[in-house]
A and B are shown apart, each in its own frame.
Chain A
Amino acid sequence: MKIEILGTGCPKCKKLYELAQEAIAESGVAAELSKVEKIQDIMKYNVMLTPALVVDGQVKCAGKIPSKDEIKKWINKQS
């Protein structure tokens, strides 16, 4: 599973990255987590707001920090 955090590096983006790391660890799923920080790369996902979280190419949320439980649900649904 591929999880991407879209954001140019602000505190909210960093917070979402940390939450995703924790959610992956606690769920015990095999996932590759990465950051997408360049605006041009972020725009390829059609998001108008950051931070955003993408699971296997599907944008799950944008413009807000979801709860860890929400992230876990998205991860578990995909695995």
Chain B
Amino acid sequence: MSSCCGDKSKMILPCSGAADVGEIADRAARKLSNEGDGDMSCLAGIGAGLSGFVASAKGADEVITIDGCEVHCARKSVEKIGVTPKSYTVTDLGFEKGGTQVTESVVQKVVDSIRGGKTERGGCCDTSAKSKRLGCCG
């Protein structure tokens, strides 16, 4: 859970799809979240219309979607609730759907690309803000 105050809140929503590139999107999101680049949340919770997930996405300063492929389920799910995310797509980075082995180095390449703002669609180019994790300013 993100802080209630302090730095900008950044939410990361991967498609976590069934294909290899969906798994890469999921693992990249977990890595980014674990390393303090934002907070991963559940896209399925938004799709299900659960109020906590929906309100959190609407209230975040920045929402990042990571889709495996050009179907863009994550981006479209977020747009459906009126939020315009920064959108990244694994296949835009040269990885083929159905033809990519899910390895640490592939996941790292996707993470690095997102940190560098490559293949980003929508929003501004500032990807430098780190979100403060947990706790509160008291």
Contact = CB atoms under 8 A, between A and B. Distances in A.
Contact of B11 (A10, A12, A48, A52): A48
Given A58-B51, A61-B55, A64-B59, A7 B1 contact: no
B1 A10 contact: no
A62 interface: yes
Interface string A22-66: 000000000000000001001101111111100000111111100
A12 B3 CA distance: 11
Contacts, number: 86
* Secondary structure call for the B interface: loop
A47 B4 contact: no
A20 interface: no
Interface in B115-138: 134-138
Interface string B41-82: 110010000111111101111000000000000000000000
**Max chain B CB contacts within 10 Å: which of A8, A58, A60?**
A8
Given A59-B52, A62-B52, A49 B2 contact: yes
A49 to B, nearest CB: 5
A49 B60 contact: yes
A61 B58 CA distance: 8
B87 interface: no
Contact of B53 (A46, A50, A51): A46
Contacts of A64: 59
B1 A39 contact: yes
Contacts of B138: 9-10
B104 to A, nearest CB: 27
Nearest to A64: B59
B39 interface: yes
Interface of A: 7-13, 39, 42-43, 45-52, 58-64
Pick the 7 closest A-B CB pairs, nearest first: A63-B59, A46-B52, A48-B56, A59-B51, A50-B4, A62-B55, A8-B136
18 contacts: A7-B4, A8-B4, A10-B4, A10-B137, A10-B138, A48-B2, A48-B11, A48-B53, A48-B60, A50-B1, A50-B2, A50-B4, A61-B55, A62-B58, A63-B2, A63-B4, A63-B9, A63-B56
